[in-house]
Structure 1
Amino acid sequence: MITVPISALEVAMVQTHTRAMDTLRDTTTFAQRLEELGYLRLWYAEHHHSPAIGAFPPVVLTAHAAALTSSIRLGSGGVLAPNHAPIMLAEQFGTLAALHGGRIDLGIGRGPGTFDELTARALRRGAGPTTDEEYRDDVSATLRFLVDEVALGPLPEPWLLISSTAGAALAAELGLPIAFAHHIRPENTLPALDYYRERFSPSRWCERPRVLLCVETICAETHEEAARLAGPMNVVKARLLMGRSDIPFPTPEEAAGHAFAAEDVSALAAFQSQQAHGSPETVEKRLSDLVAMTSADELMLATPVYALADRLRSYELVKQHMMAPRTA
């Protein structure tokens, strides 16, 4: 049994042979089912210009899901600060928090959300990549606007999404809880968490270091079935290793026929060994080991599989085999 709270990340994969509106319909079903299962929170990620991932704004998905649920926490994981004016982020998420009983989270990240340079520049109105100082100013301004100009009632809970010691340094300085992207940069996890905890300064947002660890998790009745379900994302990752995101999210059958380069097979195996794929017993051990290794306060599961039914089944198995009963 895993004793820390467990949450979920919605990446909104657009399955090949389907429409984006089908993915949007699935996000609604997914949110409602996760609430029934007792997951703590559900976050939406910001992506742009990818045939495999829907370009659905996290604030819109959060608002839609919040209107159709009553208890699960909802928010961004993350909304990318360089793509948005700080005051707009504060107004949007501050309004959502006031409308929905203080169950809104504002997870802030830095990346462009796309591999396409023209798209990145369009999002930033022609500007190039943000500097460390500009990013710090954006995050600080967003927090300031939340308090000084938007306080309509309960504030959204701010988090900083990080994948390096640079992000850890900013979160520690500002006294923010962190969501670490172990599902993207597992090699940076321990150094970044150590750096964050050693330098953390308490703030109005967080009195002590607080760590949410996001882990790619694919749970099925058997290891073989989990491996089959992981196939489509492996194809997408192999393309991402080349710096490209120009293919749709394939079916498991299409992925089974994909010819991977030898270096891709090695890189994917190394990555997967640090995530949580397999039967319930295997997944429970891996997640428990990660909690013990990182002293994480919460887990967030990212489950990029093709069909909604298979994705929900993974979360149902985690619920049945691993989740401790939630207390009020």
Structure 2
Amino acid sequence: MSLPLPLSILDLATVSRDETVAQALEASTTLAQRAEDWGFRRIWYAEHHNMGSIASAATSVLIAHVAARTERITLGSGGVMLPNHSPLQVAEQFGTLAELHPGRIELGLGRAPGTDQETVRALRRDPSASERFPSDVRELQAFLAQDSLVPNVHAYPGRGTRVPLSILGSSLYGAQVAALLGLPYGFASHFAPDALEQAVALYRKEFRPSEQLSEPRVLAGVNVIAADSADEAEAQFREAQRQRVRLFTGRRGRSLTDAETDAVLDSAAGEQIRSMTRYSAVGTPDTVARYLEEFTTRADADELIVAGLAPRRESWWRSWELLATKVQGAAA
């Protein structure tokens, strides 16, 4: 079966256990090349800092690397955390990418810092920068167009590239900003699911057409683990949840046993970690395909952004291959 809407990929460039950063980035590059052949529409890379298991902190650099090794697939950020940067610098970076790879680059923008407060200080950013998010988006948009909002300052490269923008979020605030600016809205339901339906409804209700977008467009995140058997998929899902416990307790690797992480997950305190992956398609390819259809309706989405949740590299590859074969109709 094929879904009646586009399917794209969110790649965190995850560094698996017993894997180097270089190996993780090589896997992300290979995934992009295969995804291009499989018919996925786009791949987004997310900006996270001070997280040893994620290698996409320098998002624009990773996009440049992957773009040079692919030919057609659209590449972008999911997202660049704008409070961590000046709009001018982001315009220059993504303007450069757009000049090198015309028609293939886009820019998703988030308001959160993508890290903890100590790392925010290390980034030399003002903690109140997130309060300027709407005006910073407008400033960035102008830098990428022809008319800068900053007198006598232009983005070179960047000016005139009109790199498409999207607003990413997990709250009503992001939905309101996206609607006000007439931009696509990407909801992070793959890890922050609570406000999905309310935020999407608000966005669609308050959307104002813009030069970039005439009608509202919703992209919703969903986790996927596809495996050859239901039991195998469920075992992988449990392992992925264990990894989250280790990540959020700051005790990754072998410092917590499986029994210890299971105890956390099965406790009341573990409910928040379990709820983060509420929207997850886990099972055989048929089960995953049915779930994605149902989730599309629930999310009122125009496009799904799929995050691969399989915890180990071998199972991660198999999950993508099964998804591509079943949902995309590709010869994986």
Q: With structure 2 as the length reference, what TM-score do the two structures score?
A: 0.88
Shift in Å at residue 165 of structure 1?
Answer: 0.6
Counterpart-to-counterpart distance in 1, 2:126 and 2:249: 22
Q: Which amino acid aligns with 2:72?
A: S
Q: Flag structure 2 segments of 5+ consecutive residues without an equivalent.
A: 147-153
Paired AA for residue 39 in structure 2: G
Corresponding residue for 2:142? 144
Q: Following the alignment from structure 1 to structure 2, what is the Cα–Cα distance between the partners of residues 312 and 267?
A: 28
Deviation readout 1:218-265 (Å, 9 max, x if unpaired): 11111211122223431233356xxx4634467xxx757743322255
What is the deviation of 1:102? 1.0
Q: In the alignment, which residue of structure 1 is the partner of 2:151?
A: none
Q: State whether structure 2 residue 228 is matched by structure 1 residue 225.
A: no
Structure 1 residues 94-114: Cα deviation after superposition (integer angstroms, max 9, x where no partner): 121121121101011111111
2:250 is aligned with 1:246: yes
Q: 1:261-292: per-residue Cα shift (whole Å, max 9, x none)?
A: 22255445545443211111221111101112
Structure 2 counterpart of 1:319: 324
Q: Distance in 2 between matches of 1:224 and 1:101?
A: 44
Range 101-110 or range 302-311, more displaced? 302-311
SS at match of 2:173: helix
Are 2:122 and 1:122 equivalent residues in the alignment?
A: yes
Corresponding residue for 1:286?
291
1:61-90 deviation per Cα after TM superposition (whole angstroms, max 9, x unaligned): 100000000011001110100001101111
Distance in structure 1 (CA, Å) of the matches to 2:120 and 2:249: 14
1:167 maps to 174
Identical columns (%): 37
The AA in structure 1 aligned to 2:262 is: A
Report matched runs for 1:62-101 at 5 Å.
Answer: 62-101=63-102
Pick aligned residue for 1:193 from 200, 203, 209: 200
Matched length: 317
Deviation track 1:12-36 (CA, whole Å, cap 9, x = no partner) reads 1122222212212212111111112
Q: Which moved more, 1:24-33 or 1:61-70?
A: 24-33
The CA distance in 2 between the partners of 1:108 and 1:58, in whole Å, is 12
Give, in angstroms, the shift of residue 129 of structure 1: 4.1
Inter-CA distance 156–256: structure 2 relative to 1 (3 Å threshold)? farther
**Would you say the 8 A contact 1:95–1:152 is kept in 2?**
no
Aligned partners of 2:86, 2:251: CA distance in 1, in Å?
31
Aligned-pair CA distance for 1:204:
1.1
Task: State the alpha-carbon separation in 1 of the partners of residues 28 and 221 from structure 2.
Answer: 19
Partner of residue 185 from structure 2, selected from 166, 172, 178: 178
> How many angstroms apart in 1 are the aligned matches of 2:15 and 2:297?
34
Within 2, Cα distance between the matches of 1:272 and 1:279?
Answer: 18
Q: Report deviation, 1:119.
A: 0.9
TM-score w.r.t. the length of structure 1 is 0.89
Q: CA RMSD in A?
A: 2.3
- Aligned: 1:276 with 2:281: yes
How far apart, CA to CA, are the structure 2 residues paired with 1:155 and 1:100?
13
* Contact 2:97 2:105 (8 Å CA) reproduced: yes
CA shift, 1:317, in A, is 1.3
Alignment check: 8 A CA contact 1:50 1:245 kept:
no
Identify if the C-alpha distance between structure 1 residues 126 and 200 changes in structure 2 by more than 3 Å, giving closer, same or farther. Answer: closer
| 1:173 aligned partner, one-letter code | L
Aligned residue in 2 for 1:106: 107
Does the CA contact (< 8 Å) of 2:84 and 2:125 recur in 1?
no
Q: 1:13 to 1:186 in 2, by over 3 A?
A: same
Superposition pairs for residues 22-101 of structure 1, below 5 Å?
22-54=23-55, 56-101=57-102
Cα 1:309–1:101 change in 2 (3 A) is farther
